[in-house]
Structures are given as C-alpha cells and as structure tokens.
C-alpha cells in the first residue's frame, strides 16, 4: 500500500518526481482521486502556505511545491473527469494590464492558484481590456486577476472593470487586483471585489470570494 | 556637446549582485538552500551562452528650466519636481539605456514554454538583476567620467519613477541616433527587449547624490522594503 503521508511530504517539499510516482502508485491501488486531493495534496499546500507566511520557506520553495502539486493534479484530472467530476475549483483569467510588463508577481499568484486547484488562464503582459473580456468569454472564467506595478498603469484596471460591465460580464466574474502600488482602498475605489498583496493571501481571497472557504 | 558611449559586453563581464537576486526572489536577508542554489547555478551557466548585456549613454548639455522641466539639447523633459530638484546644479546630463538584450528575451520565452515555473521564476528574476547590474555599470562609467572632470553625479532616475510619466520615454529614447540603443518602444511606451531600463543622470561640480529608492520610498509592498515594514 502506498503511504499517502509520503505524497503529502513530496508536495510539501516540492519533490515533483516523487509526487508523480506516488500519485500513479496510489491510482493503481484504486485510491479515490478526490480523497487524494482533499485529504493529502491540498493539506500539503495549506502547510506550504503556512510555512511561507511564517518565513520558514520562500518563493522558490513555494513554487516547487506548486509545481509538484500541479504535476499530481495533471495525473488525477483525466481520472476525475472520467468519473464525471472536475478537479478545478474555479476558473481564473489573469494578466498584467496594458502599458505594464512586470510579471514576476503575477506569475507567482497564477502558480499558487494553480497549485491550489484552480484552472488558471494566464494571458500575459501589456493586455488591453478587449483581451481580458475575450478571455473571460472564451473560458467562462469566474475570477479575473489584474496585475499592475506602475502607478501609471493602475488606473487601467478600472478601464478593464468598465469594459466588463459594458460586455455584460461583470456579474459573472469576481475581480481581484494586485501589484506593489495597489492597495485595498484603490481596489474599493475602482470597484474591484478583492485585493491581495501576496500570492498566498490571493488564494484565500479568491476562495473567499467564491464562497469555498 | 554630444558624446555617445555604448558597450556590448559578455555575460561574464557583468558582476551580478546575487544578494539583490535573492531579495527579488523573496529571500529578504536569507539565502536559498542547496536545492534552489543548484537550480540558480544551472540557469546561470545557461545564461553564459545566451545573454549579451548592452548598455550606454549619451552626454548632453542642458539646463533645469523650472521646478518640473529639464532641457537636454533641444528636448524638454518633464520628469517632475522630485527628479528635477535631484538634478540641481547639473551642468551636464546623461541619458542612458541598459538591457539584458534580445537574446535573453528569446531564451526566457523558451524557458516559459518548458512549463517549469520554478526555473522560469528564477530566470525571470535573474534577467531583472542583469538589467539592473548593467545600470550599475553605466553609473560606474559616468562616475569615472565625472571624477576626471572634478564633477559628481546624481542618482539615476527613470521614466515611471517619482511621477515621471512613462510616455516621456519617447522623448528620452529619441535623444539617441536611431538603432544605437538597440531598444524599441511599444505603443504603450514599454521597452523591448523587456529586461531594459532607461533614465537620466545629472553631472556637475555641485551635484549631490541624494538618497533615493529604498531610503525614501514609502512603497510598503515592495519586496526590497520587507525588512523596513515587517
Ligand atoms: C523587477 C522589476 C523590473 C524588471 C522587470 C521584471 C519583470 N518581468 O517583471 C525590469 C528591471 C526589467 C524593470 C524595468 C522597468 N521598471 Co521595474 N521594477 C522591478 C521591481 C524592482 C520589482 C518588481 C517585482 O518583480 N517584485 C517581486 C514580486 C514578487 O512582487 P510584486 O510584483 O509586487 O507581486 C506581489 C504582489 O504585489 C501581489 N500581486 C502582484 N500582481 C498581482 C495580481 C493579483 C491579481 C493579486 C491578487 C496580487 C498580485 O502578489 C505578488 C506576489 O507576492 C520594482 C520595484 C518593486 N520592488 O516593486 C520595479 C518597479 C515596479 N519598476 C518601475 C519602473 C518605472 C520600471 C521601468 C518603466 C523603468 C524604466 N523607465 O526603465 C522599466 C520598464 C521596462 C520596459 N521594458 O519598458 C517602478 C514603477 C514605479 C511606479 N510605481 O510607477 C518600480 C516600482 C521601481 C521604482 N524604483 O520606482 N523593472
């Protein structure tokens, strides 16, 4: 029998190869994929988040855990889909707004969300409102993440929110914003639903917005 | 007067400030463990073959017109109050660009396609540090130039900093003969290659280097300010 604590450990320590091997072994032994995810993998990511908040681990280690988690999820996804269930707990479109190319923070948020079970469509940098609207429509996303690192590009987040309204999509998505110069008060001012200043709290915020906490 | 100096260097000639890199990776004052250090080294070795940093500057006569404007040759820039006052007493102005280069951008795209977020994150942050290290070389060069003339240099300031509008990047880059900087501007005034930095520096006998950035910046969320606010 596969020791599933080892799967927890592998994800916690970011050991992608081991995580893949253990996930495959567990599946062969007919383990329930949903239970693997809920009782072991997500638990590991929660512990990763806790250690990150306490400065026991740092961004690269966080990403290594996310990478291992994603690899295991990729194996479980087809199985779950075969059973008529989905792995994704929400669909996120994320991007850096027009006029801005800073993407390090945005990428972090994207991979943390992915590691925590969201389906993430990262549309990249320097994106205009039409592209965001198009991506939300195409992927039927329920969360939109906007990133801006320049004070001159922050106001464009409002333009995107206005474009969502015009396209009749505003009620369909929760908008979460972030980036070093962005603040909670700015988020409120432009009519965003949420704001977060770290990749980890972004996950909590998104779950909160979707009512899955 | 109009002098242009540009340098095409190999990756090994640039001394990367690894502590800056670790900071940008979120380590604060800590250093990465073995496993991450190994990945960093691996990427560093790859970079040796595919990164050619390029940087340089133009020197222009000019003057501070009023509290917000500076004239370089016939170009009037509007960098705002903070930057204009930091240029006080400048007799000469340098406009500079520094870039990790197109090769780096292309290489990073390949890494992105490998779908390995850890490697991509580290490569991405190293690219930023390469661009910043190239700016340090610009500053060293300018310091030497100023020293020989008994002058001092100010800090370097970029469009986008301290309320200097990014659109001014157009005027700044137009100061250079076409093709010289190897940088192009997008419609939204961003520079390509992505890992590029542009800016100005004041030079003069009575110019002072004022504290900038981390010393006076109040940006609470900035990765470099973690120590100050945590
Ligand atoms: C790295 C960097 C660069 C790199 C770009 C790297 C890249 N691909 O992203 C380089 C060196 C190329 C660069 C260039 C420029 N930069 Co720059 N850059 C930075 C720097 C030092 C760090 C940004 C960073 O990556 N931080 C680390 C990440 C992890 O943090 P973060 O981005 O804040 O993200 C976290 C949170 O904000 C949040 N978050 C972020 N996005 C999102 C999204 C959502 C949905 C949520 C919920 C949360 C969230 O979670 C993240 C994870 O914890 C900042 C200074 C700073 N410390 O912020 C300047 C900074 C952003 N740059 C600045 C400027 C102006 C520029 C230039 C325009 C300067 C110039 N004229 O040359 C150029 C533009 C280049 C071009 N090609 O046109 C200014 C912006 C000023 C302002 N406030 O308007 C800053 C603040 C520097 C300064 N001294 O003033 N830059």
Residues from chain B contacting residue A197 (CB–CB below 8 Å): 221
Range of the domain at A61: 4-82
Residues A37 and A119 in one domain: no
Name which of B50, B58, B31, B57 is nearest B136 in CA terms.
B57
A152 and B35: CB-CB below 8 Å?
Answer: no
pLDDT at B230 (0 to 100): 36
pLDDT tens track, chain A, 213 positions: 788 999 999 999 999 999 999 999 999 999 999 899 989 998 999 899 899 989 999 999 999 999 999 899 989 988 887 776 666 789 999 999 999 999 999 998 998 898 888 999 999 999 999 999 999 999 999 999 999 999 889 999 999 999 999 999 999 999 999 999 899 999 999 999 999 998 889 999 999 999 987
User: Is B198's pLDDT higher than 70?
Assistant: yes
Residues A120 and A187 in one domain: yes
A61 and B125: CB-CB below 8 Å?
Answer: no
Given pLDDT bands bounded at 50, 70 and 90, which one contains residue B90? very high
pLDDT at B119 (0 to 100): 95
Minimum CA distance residue for ligand 1 atom 59: A149
Total of domains in chain B? 1
B189 and A59: CB-CB below 8 Å?
Answer: no
Compute how many other C-beta atoms are within 10 angstroms of the C-beta atom of residue B174.
12
Residues A144 and A174 in one domain: yes
Range of the domain at B208: 2-229
How many CA atoms are closer than 13 Å to the CA of A14, on its beta-carbon side? 20
Residues A110 and A198 in one domain: yes
User: Is B180's pLDDT higher than 80?
Assistant: yes
In this structure, are residues B53 and B134 in contact, taking their beta carbons and an 8 Å threshold?
yes
User: Is B222's pLDDT higher than 80?
Assistant: no
List pLDDT tens digits, range B113-147: 998 999 999 999 999 999 999 999 999 999 999 99
Residues A134 and A178 in one domain: yes
Which of A39, A58, A82 delimits the end of a domain?
A82
Given pLDDT bands bounded at 50, 70 and 90, which one contains residue B110? very high
CATH of the domain at A189: 3.40.50.280
CA dihedral A92, A96, A101, A105 (to 10 degrees): -60
Residues A108 and A78 in one domain: no
Residues from chain B contacting residue A64 (CB–CB below 8 Å): 35-36, 118
Confirm or reject contact between B18 and chain A (CB < 8 A). no
Strands in A143-147's sheet, in edge-to-edge order, are A119-127, A91-97, A143-147, A174-178, A194-195
pLDDT at B224 (0 to 100): 53
pLDDT at A84 (0 to 100): 66
Residues A161 and A56 in one domain: no
CATH of the domain at A37: 1.10.1240.10
Residues from chain A contacting residue B27 (CB–CB below 8 Å): 58-59
* Residue indicated by tokens 């050619």: B52
CB-nearest partner of B222 from A111, A126, A180 = A180
Residues A135 and A183 in one domain: yes
Residue A30 Cα distances to A46, A69, A73, A75, A199, angstroms: 25, 19, 16, 13, 34
Which of A82, A104, A136 delimits the end of a domain?
A82
CATH of the domain at B204: 3.40.109.40
Specify the ligand 1 atom closest to the Cα of A106: 41
User: Is B7's pLDDT higher than 80?
Assistant: yes
Total of domains in chain A? 2
B221 and A197: CB-CB below 8 Å?
Answer: yes
* pLDDT mean over B184-197: 93
Minimum CA distance residue for ligand 1 atom 44: A178
pLDDT at A80 (0 to 100): 82
Which of A82, A100, A132 delimits the end of a domain?
A82
Identify the residue among B105, B129, B221, B229 best suited for mutation to test binding to A, counting A beta carbons within 10 A and taking the highest: B221
Residues A95 and A44 in one domain: no
Query: A178 in ligand 1 pocket by Cβ < 6 Å?
Result: yes
């Amino acid at each position: 029998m596969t020791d599933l604590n080892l799967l927890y450990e592998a994800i916690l320590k970011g050991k992608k190869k081991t995580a893949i091997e253990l996930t495959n072994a567990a599946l062969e032994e007919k383990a329930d994929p949903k239970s693997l995810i809920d009782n072991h993998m997500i638990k590991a990511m929660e512990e990763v988040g806790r250690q990150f908040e306490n400065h026991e681990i740092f961004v690269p280690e966080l990403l290594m855990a996310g990478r291992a988690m994603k690899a295991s999820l990729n194996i479980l996804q087809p199985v779950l889909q075969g059973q008529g269930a989905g792995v994704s707990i929400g669909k996120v479109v994320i991007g850096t707004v027009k006029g801005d190319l800073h993407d390090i923070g945005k990428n972090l948020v994207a991979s943390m969300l992915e590691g925590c079970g969201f389906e993430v469509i990262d549309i990249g940098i320097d994106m205009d409102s039409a592209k965001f609207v198009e991506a939300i429509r195409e992927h039927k996303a329920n969360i939109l993440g906007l990133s801006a690192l320049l004070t001159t590009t922050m106001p464009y987040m409002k333009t995107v929110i206005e474009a969502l309204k015009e396209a009749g999509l505003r009620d369909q998505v929760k908008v979460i914003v972030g980036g070093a110069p962005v603040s909670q008060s700015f988020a409120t001012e432009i009519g965003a639903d949420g704001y977060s200043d770290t990749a980890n709290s972004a996950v909590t915020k998104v779950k909160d917005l979707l009512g899955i906490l | 007067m109009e002098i242009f100096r540009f340098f095409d260097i190999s990756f090994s000639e640039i001394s990367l400030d690894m502590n800056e890199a670790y900071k940008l990776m979120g380590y604060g004052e800590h250093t990465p463990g073995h496993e991450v250090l190994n990945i960093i080294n691996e990427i560093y070795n790859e970079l040796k073959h595919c990164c050619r940093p390029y940087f340089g500057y133009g020197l222009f006569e000019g003057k501070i017109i009023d509290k917000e404007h500076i004239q370089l040759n016939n170009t009037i820039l509007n960098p705002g109050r903070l930057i204009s006052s930091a240029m006080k007493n400048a007799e000469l102005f340098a406009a500079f660009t520094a870039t990790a280069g197109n090769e780096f951008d292309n290489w990073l795209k390949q890494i992105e396609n490998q779908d390995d977020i850890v490697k991509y994150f580290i490569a991405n942050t190293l690219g930023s540090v390469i661009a910043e290290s190239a700016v340090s070389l610009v500053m060293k060069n300018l310091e030497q130039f100023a020293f020989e003339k008994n002058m001092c240099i100010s800090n370097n300031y970029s469009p986008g900093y301290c309320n200097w509008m990014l659109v001014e990047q157009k005027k700044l880059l137009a100061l250079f003969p076409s093709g010289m900087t190897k940088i192009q501007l997008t419609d939204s005034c961003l520079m390509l290659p992505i890992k590029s930095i542009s800016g100005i520096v004041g030079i003069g006998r009575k110019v002072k280097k004022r504290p900038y950035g981390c010393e006076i910046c109040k940006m609470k969320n900035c990765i470099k300010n973690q120590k100050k606010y945590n």
